[in-house]
Structure formats: structure tokens, C-alpha cells
Amino acid sequence: MIYVRYIRSPPLISSETAYPEPAAAKAYHVLEYMIVTLELAPASFVTEGALIEKLALGRTPVREAIQRLAWEGLLDVRPRAGIAIAPLHPGDWLRVLDARRGVEVVLARSAARFVTREAADLFHEAALAMQKAVISGNVLAFIQADKALDEALAMAADNPFAARLAAPLQTHSRRFWFRYMADTGLAESAEHHVALIRSILAGDEEAAAKDAKRLMALLRGHAEVAATR
């Protein structure tokens, strides 16, 4: 059994650049992290002013982040009522994964075909971070590593259309996983992710597609269990 520790830490700066993120991008990543890790509780309400105060990034970047998260279905802006954090209904995880499966296979195949040295370095970093998170039982570090892996996949695939479609589905899925599966299965999940990375770095499109399908099947199995609770 893995001893799971929850260590509250800020989200990682995007590995796409060594330079500081623009304020709106930073606001988005911090709010996304807070939603995924349930620091902003499902079905709760918050005000724009409270988020501006919490993030200390200014009204415009926070408002832009809110609008983006609302478009992705993670927030619901209600005039005169505040901002509602999306609820978590276990059965919706299955719907998210049904929508996600196909595009993940597309991304995996494309990444294996077009992966660059820069993207390969990001995959190595994500795999190492994920393995360290498993060893330490640090679920929040695992969540951050999973996000980094998705960003590496988006870069390597060289298909912005598929990447933009996949990103919100990946975030929703990560949130469900954190809610229902964070106490178990870190090692198994990491094993599936690392297998996908290896196939991509080997340039094996067929193996990458199969590994993406296996990962989605693992997550769907978790979602089916959560739906019965």
C-alpha cells in the first residue's frame, strides 16, 4: 500500500517557457489547480473579488482566467449570484473519458511521429516527477506531473486542434481522479503513463496508440467504480 500525503503546494510554472508566465496565464493555471485539487470545492460559490484578492494578480487577468475556465465548464458565472464551481457527479467522469479517448489516441500517434528533442526532455522530466511522486506518496506532486505530461504531449503532437480539444477534458478527468482515486492506484497510474511516454520517445505510433487506449481503459475502470458509489 502506498502512503499518500497531501502537501499543499503551488502549481508548477508551465514548462513550455523558462520565462515568467503572463498574468492571465498564471491566473488560469493557479485557478485550474485550485479547482482540480478541490481547494475550490465542487458546487460552492465564490466571488470575482475574492479570487482577485486571493491571487493578487489584478482584475483583468483574473477575469480572463474566469472566462476561459467558464468556457471549459469548470466555472459557471452567474450574474448577481457569483461564480459557481462546477459540481462533481461521478457518472460524468465516464462521459468525459468517452469524449477524451479518441483525441488521446490521435495525440499519442502524432507525438510519436513528430516528437522533438525539446518535447522529449519535457517527457523525461514529467516521467521522473511522476515516479518521485509515487515514491513519496505525494498526490499533489503527481497531479502536477500529470499536467506536465499533458503539456508535453500537446507540444510533441504538433496538432493544436487536437490539443485544444483534449486540454479541458484532461483537466476534468484529473479533477475526478483526484476526488475519487487519489488514495489508491498511484503506482499503477504512473506505470501506464510511463509506458505511453516510452512508446512516444521510441517513435512507435502503434505502441503509443495502444498505450493511450490502455491508459484510458484504466481510467474508465476507475470511473465505473466511482459511478456506483
- Which pLDDT value is given to residue 11? 54
- Which pLDDT value is given to residue 3? 39
The rounded distance, in Å, linking the Cα atoms of 202 and 218 is 22
The rounded distance, in Å, linking the Cα atoms of 166 and 160 is 10
Count of Cβ atoms closer than 10 Å to residue 160 Cβ: 9
> Is 22 in contact with 14 (CB distance < 8 Å)?
no
- Which pLDDT value is given to residue 182? 82
List per-residue pLDDT tens for the chain, 229 residues long: 333 444 444 454 443 444 467 888 999 999 999 999 999 999 999 999 999 999 988 899 999 999 999 999 999 998 888 999 999 999 999 999 999 999 999 999 999 999 999 999 999 999 999 999 999 999 999 999 999 999 999 999 999 999 999 999 999 999 999 999 887 879 999 999 999 999 999 999 999 999 999 999 999 999 999 998 7
User: Strands, E, within the chain: which ranges?
Assistant: 45-46, 75-78, 82-85
End-to-end CA distance of the chain: 22
User: Which residue reads 482540480 in cell numbers?
Assistant: 36
